[in-house]
């Protein structure tokens, strides 16, 4: 799990897009920002100058520089010292404004990264906040094949040899798209959203027993690959059992949830047996999930109809 980012890494990732230049504190390139309980107590990862509750990246705009200029010399120096004493990941000056010499000196002495950009404050705030939130988000790697089926992200899981890759290959021939095989990575980018991506090493690849590694992009074209997708459903493959006599599951299906990074993800379990068309069954499972998301549940509708029929029979006797 990647749960930290350094000032140097952040600068490299955004330098071109934000036109950043490094003014002082280059020795602070290794200073790191970590996710976890420490960040939970802070008001923001990125924000305008705040000496009471310091942000981890302090943006210094026109108003902040004007405020510093209104301070008496001793208080100004104490304010700047308080800024760097909080050990921010970086200080960023907006709109290519002239950097005050005392701020430059304090950043150099404290080894605090001091950057400057021609961009306006709100642009810096938006992009820095997004990048840091993405880099420090909770992340997990799961075993399975992650695909886009009927526009939603579906993770196919099961024991080794259950037929996950063969099912994925069949779905690809039916026009669905592959996100990642074997080890998709999921990042919690919002309180209720898990974004699934493919590790760089496995990009475009699908391993099928008997055929080896297949390059799906080369075989099916660029449209067969999806860069990322939100996880909405898990389809779990299990061997079919001859002694399965649960009458209720025959009506409602085998449904449950799986906890992933604190989120309850719906799970539909499909029994695998010779002669069963798993691609058709998985497509039906996805369609059923979409209907349930709209509040339409065929099983519950049937049970309600059955109860009504019984009531009518009792009333007629």
The residue from 31, 164, 176, 177 that is catalytic is 164
The residue from 143, 218, 276, 306 that is catalytic is 143
CA distance 236 to 271: 8
DSSP E strands in 76-176: the ranges are: 90-93, 113-116, 139-141, 145-149, 152-158
Angle between helical axes of 278-293 and 164-173 (0-180°, round to 10): 80
CA distance 317 to 313: 6
Q: Is 176 a catalytic residue?
A: no
Pairing status of strand 90-93 against strand 113-116: parallel
CA distance 230 to 233: 9
Q: Is 250 a catalytic residue?
A: yes
DSSP state of 225: B
Q: Is 102 a catalytic residue?
A: no
CA distance 101 to 303: 76
Pairing status of strand 205-208 against strand 212-215: antiparallel
Cross-strand partners of 229: 196
The residue from 181, 182, 195, 204 that is catalytic is 182
The residue from 209, 218, 227, 250 that is catalytic is 250
Q: Is residue 137 within 8 Å of residue 35, measured between CB atoms? A: yes
Q: Is 143 a catalytic residue?
A: yes
Kindly report each contact of residues 6-12 with a partner whose C-beta sits within 8 Å and lies 24 or more positions away, as own/partner. 6/30, 6/31, 6/32, 6/33, 7/31, 7/32, 7/89, 7/90, 7/113, 10/89, 10/90, 10/128, 10/131, 10/132, 10/135, 11/90, 11/113, 11/115
Q: Which H or E element spans position 130?
A: helix 121-135
DSSP state of 97: P
Q: What residues are labeled active site?
A: 143, 164, 182, 250
């Amino acid at each position: 799990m990647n749960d930290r980012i350094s000032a140097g890494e952040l600068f490299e990732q955004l330098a071109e897009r934000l036109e950043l230049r490094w003014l002082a504190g280059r020795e602070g390139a290794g200073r790191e920002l970590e996710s976890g309980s420490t960040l939970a107590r802070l008001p923001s990862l990125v924000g305008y100058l705040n000496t009471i509750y310091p942000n981890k990246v302090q943006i210094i705009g026109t108003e902040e520089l004007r405020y510093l200029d209104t301070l008496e010399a001793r208080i100004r120096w104490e304010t700047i010292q308080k800024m760097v004493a909080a050990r921010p990941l970086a200080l960023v000056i907006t709109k290519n404004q002239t950097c005050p010499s005392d701020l430059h000196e304090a950043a150099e002495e404290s080894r605090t990264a001091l950057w400057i950009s021609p961009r306006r404050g709100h642009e810096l705030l938006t992009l820095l906040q997004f990048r840091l939130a993405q880099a420090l988000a909770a992340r997990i790697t799961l075993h399975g094949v992650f695909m886009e089926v009927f526009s939603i992200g579906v993770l196919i899981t099961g024991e080794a040899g259950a037929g996950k890759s063969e099912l994925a290959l069949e779905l690809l021939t039916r026009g669905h798209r592959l996100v990642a095989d074997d080890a998709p990575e999921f990042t919690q980018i919002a309180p209720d959203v898990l974004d699934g991506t493919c590790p760089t090493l496995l990009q475009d690849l699908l391993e099928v027993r008997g055929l080896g590694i297949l390059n799906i992009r080369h075989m099916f074209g660029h449209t067969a690959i999806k860069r990322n997708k939100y996880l909405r459903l898990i389809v779990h493959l299990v061997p079919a059992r001859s002694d399965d006599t649960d009458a209720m599951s025959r009506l409602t299906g085998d449904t449950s949830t799986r906890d992933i990074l604190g989120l309850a993800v719906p799970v539909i379990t499909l029994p695998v047996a010779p002669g069963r068309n798993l691609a058709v069954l998985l497509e039906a499972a996805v369609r059923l999930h979409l209907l349930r998301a709209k509040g339409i549940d065929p099983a519950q509708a049937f049970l309600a109809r059955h109860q009504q029929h019984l009531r009518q029979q009792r009333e007629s006797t």
